[in-house]
């Protein structure tokens, strides 16, 4: 399976990266191809709701020319998308949020309000880290993620939610994290 993982942490080697790396290594050992894309290195502007994307029905057609043009190709050419983000103020990180806002162009609306999705049937998973507990924002991110997956008509293959993380030690020395990763990886068999 060809997997594209979007790291939405502003810290390239932080806690979210560590969990993603642990998952990526296991997926590669299973024979999957995985590419990690560091969104902090990309020039992604916010959606301006110009609706130019809706004028062409078979490709993204976003009017904003930035690094998303290349990322659309990666999304469309992948079998599975992974979103990795820390909780920022009860939500996705700003990097993932800007990225997700720009995926509106992957859904094409008809005059009657119905729509098709260019990513329908693609698999999608969430990797989430949080300094607080699950009810201090992680739950809200999971709900937003599930709604996004439903909207794009993608297939949710699961989530790894690691809460109460203040240091790498909270990840590496916690057997619960390894169990969550194993359960997530089982969805790729």
> Cβ–Cβ contacts within 10 Å for residue 184, how many?
22
pLDDT tens, per residue, the chain with 189 residues: 999 999 999 999 999 999 999 999 999 999 999 999 999 999 999 999 999 999 999 999 999 999 999 999 999 999 999 999 999 888 899 999 999 999 999 999 999 999 999 999 999 999 999 988 888 889 999 999 999 999 999 999 999 999 888 888 888 888 899 999 999 999 998
- CATH number of the domain that 123 lies in? 3.40.50.360
Rounded Cα gap, residues 91 and 62, in angstroms: 25
Cα 17–Cα 156–Cα 77 angle in degrees, nearest 5: 75
- How would you label 170-181 residue by residue, b for 16+ Cβ within 10 Å and e otherwise? bbeeeeebeebb
- Record the pTM: 0.95
What total of structural domains would you count in the chain?
Answer: 1
Domain containing residue 65: 2-188
Cα 106–Cα 25–Cα 67 angle in degrees, nearest 5: 30
């Amino acid at each position: 399976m060809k997997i594209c993982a979007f790291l939405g942490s502003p810290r390239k080697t932080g806690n979210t990266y560590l969990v993603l790396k642990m998952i990526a290594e296991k997926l590669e050992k299973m024979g999957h191809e995985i590419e990690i894309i560091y969104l902090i290195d990309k020039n992604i502007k916010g959606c301006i709701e110009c609706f130019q994307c809706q004028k062409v029905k078979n490709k993204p057609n976003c009017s904003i020319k930035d690094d998303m043009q290349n990322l659309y190709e990666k999304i469309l050419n992948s079998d599975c998308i992974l979103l990795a983000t820390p909780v920022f103020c009860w939500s996705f990180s700003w990097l993932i949020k800007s990225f997700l806002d720009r995926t509106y162009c992957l859904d094409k609306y008809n005059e009657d309000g119905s729509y098709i999705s260019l990513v329908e049937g693609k698999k999608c998973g969430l990797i989430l880290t949080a300094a607080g507990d699950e009810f201090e924002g992680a739950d809200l991110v999971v709900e937003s993620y599930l709604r996004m997956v439903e909207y794009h008509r993608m297939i949710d293959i699961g989530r790894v939610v690691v809460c109460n993380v203040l240091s790498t030690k909270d990840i590496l020395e916690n057997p619960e994290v390894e169990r969550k990763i194993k359960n997530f990886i089982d969805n790729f068999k």
